[in-house]
Chains A and B, each alone.
Chain A
Amino acid sequence: MELTTVKATTIKIRAHKKQQDRIMIKLVIFMALVILLLFIAAFAAQLVPYDPYAQDLTIALQAPSQAHPFGTDRYGRDMLSRVIMGGQTTIYSALLLVGVITTFGTLVGLFCGYKGGKIDSFIMRVSDIFLAFPGMVFAIAVAGVLGGGIINAVVALACISWPKFARLARGQVLAIKNMPYISAAKLSGSRPTKIVFKHILPNITGPILVTATLDIGTMMMELAGLSFLGLGAMPPIAEWGSMMSDGRSMLQTAPWVILAPGCAIFIAVMLFNLLGDTVRDVLDPKTKKEKFTWRRK
């Protein structure tokens, strides 16, 4: 009887460990792929086989071949070069956007959550107003007012996306604000800024990091969406969304023009989402707690 319980526990521990290992392997794989993607995007200018902006109408709209693996567009520009170059614009704009909204939203959330009171209610109502608009429509309006350009598209999307992080951070702050260790920090004579950045922020980075990673894919899609509508990157700049927009009239005659950037978006977004999922599995507070109890024993 006892032996079977011991056996069951051993099996359970082993299964748990195996699962942990699998998650770590997944994390390493996706991390490596994302880093590869970032690397390609960063060194796009050196990696492209042809000049992505050089036009040559004699080879316009050629089907994929040995010389041009993804074919050429209507100006005879090499699609592979343009997809690689476009990756730089799309991926780094998305990363910039996520970086900005995460930092800004988290700071606002930390401030509101810690301070509380009227100022907190006021800022949260403002964020409610931003959340009340349908996101994309609002972004289109902002981008329309600001005019085209990838930076303006980033600003437009940042305007509608920061409240999510502010609310997340604020909720987390409220959850740990009354922990005894925060009181202890106050009793140590620490200033509020020190308490917020030394004691609160490190304890809420987990969920924020997970949301940020999961958001990279979404933001990439929305940026590409704005560009597709002509409110993001301006031609001739290579950007996946605007490249798709260029190719949509030729979907039947030259599908590679729209398929190449489309597939690029699909793969990039999927990679970032998979990475986000794995990061969540790793940082999940529940599995983490379990890990701690193992260690204590």
Chain B
Amino acid sequence: MDAVLEVRHLKKTYKKGKNLINAVEDISFEVQKGECLGLVGESGSGKSTLAKMITGLEPADQGDILLNGKTITGLNGKAQRAVYRDIQMVFQMPADSFNPRIKLGEGIMESMINQGVARNEAKTRAQEYLKICGLSPEFADRYPYQVSGGECQRASIARAIAINPQLLICDEATSALDVTVQAQIVKLLAQFKKKSGMAQLMICHDLALVQEVCDRVLVMHNGRVVEEGTPDQIIMHPREAYTQKLIESIF
């Protein structure tokens, strides 16, 4: 097995007035090819900060992030943009993750065009990906406010997979959606994992969802990984007191 993503001793501290908040404290983990790693924890446990650091939207204070064995921490400009060929992300709020002034299709095409794909081809490919995600091609000509949250999230997934990344990060991708739509989206993501061997990092606070799709789960608490294992292990036999509490609060 080879690791697509490797995170080593990552640290991030925010300053809030005089207080220092340790958002992420010394976290290390790996995501293998074709694996879906779940990251659970209450809000404020540093999950989203971790996602932002992996995608380079926030600089890391300490530690290394490796993509296919190459470090991607502290990059900027062109080198950082090159990383985005391999890492994509699906955001929490579907409606906010599309520019309200730009059609969905245009948003999906953007990454392809930036990679030098011709406009016409990008357009047909965008429509194909919309179809794969269960949306008809007409959605390419709609604005974000003209579609529902679930449809928007599908478009968001279409955008993320359009350039066939090696790693897909889903930052609470389903938490803003209702249960039936959630199930559809999760199914869709599982399909991609199977088909293209894409590694996935699912950031989530819904343990039931994690149990369904993830191969391995990390439980985060106050910026640290407190437990690691398969979903069944963690839900049936939680070792840590915090994990027990987390599970009790749901079931």
Write the nearest CB–CB distance from B153 to chain A, whole angstroms: 12
Most buried by B among A180, A185, A186, A292: A180
CB-CB nearest in chain A for B148: A296
- Number of inter-chain CB pairs below 8 Å: 66
* A296 to B110 CA separation, bound complex (whole angstroms): 26
Chain A nearest CB from B165 CB (Å) reads: 9
A199 within 8 A of B: yes
Contact partners of A188 in chain B: CB under 8 A: 84, 110-111, 114, 159
Q: Mark B72-97, 1 if CB is under 8 A from A, else 0.
A: 00000000011011011101110011
The answer, yes or no, to whether B100 is at the interface (CB within 8 Å) is yes
Given contact pairs A188-B114, A191-B81, A183 touches B145 in the complex (Cβ within 8 A): no
Chain A 176-188 interface 0/1 with B at a Cβ cutoff of 8 Å (1 = within): 0001110111111
Question: How far does the Cβ of B233 sit from chain A's closest Cβ, in whole Å?
Answer: 33
State in angstroms the CA–CA spacing of A190 and B78 once bound together: 10
Q: Which chain A positions have C-beta within 8 A of B179? A: none
Cβ of B114 and Cβ of A189 under 8 Å apart? yes
Whether A203 contacts B111 in the complex (CB less than 8 A), given A184-B91, A295-B146, comes out as: no
- On chain A, the residues within 8 Å of B91 by CB distance are 180, 183-184
Question: For the complex, what is the distance from the CA of A225 to the CA of B241, rounded to whole Å?
Answer: 75
Q: A296 — which chain B residues lie within 8 A by C-beta?
A: 145-146
A203–B145 touching, CB < 8 Å: no
Chain A residues positioned under 8 Å from B97 (CB to CB): 180-181, 183-184
Q: How far is the CA of A25 from the CA of B107 in the complex (A)?
A: 35
For the complex, is A202 an interface residue (Cβ under 8 Å from B)? yes
Per-residue CB contact flags for chain B residues 98-109 toward chain A (1 = under 8 Å, else 0) read 111110000100
Interface assignment of B57: CB less than 8 Å from any CB of chain A: yes
Nearest chain A residue, comparing its CB with the CB of B88: A187
**Is the beta-carbon distance between A184 and B55 smaller than 8 angstroms?**
no
Q: Does B115 make an interface contact (CB < 8 A)?
A: yes
- Which A residues lie within 8 Å of B96 (CB)? 179-181
Encode A189-233 as 1/0 by CB contact (under 8 A) with B.
111000000110011000000000000000000000000000000
A188 to B114, CA, bound (A): 7
A172 CB to closest chain B CB (Å) equals 14
B110 touches A185 (CB 8 A): yes
In the complex, A41→B249 CA distance in Å?
73
Residues of A within 8 A of B159 (CB): 184, 188
Instruction: Give which listed residue, A187, A198, A203, contacts B84 with CB less than 8 A.
Output: A187
A residues contacting B by CB (< 8 A) are 179-181, 183-191, 198-199, 202-203, 292, 295-296
Taking A183-B89, A184-B159 as known contacts, 13 extra A-B pairs with beta carbons closer than 8 A to each other, sorted by chain A number, are: A180-B92, A180-B97, A184-B98, A186-B57, A186-B84, A187-B88, A188-B84, A189-B85, A189-B114, A198-B102, A203-B99, A203-B100, A295-B145
Query: 20 A-B residue contacts at CB 8 Å?
Result: A179-B96, A180-B97, A181-B96, A181-B98, A181-B107, A183-B97, A184-B91, A184-B98, A184-B159, A187-B84, A187-B87, A188-B111, A189-B84, A189-B85, A191-B81, A202-B99, A202-B102, A203-B100, A295-B146, A296-B145
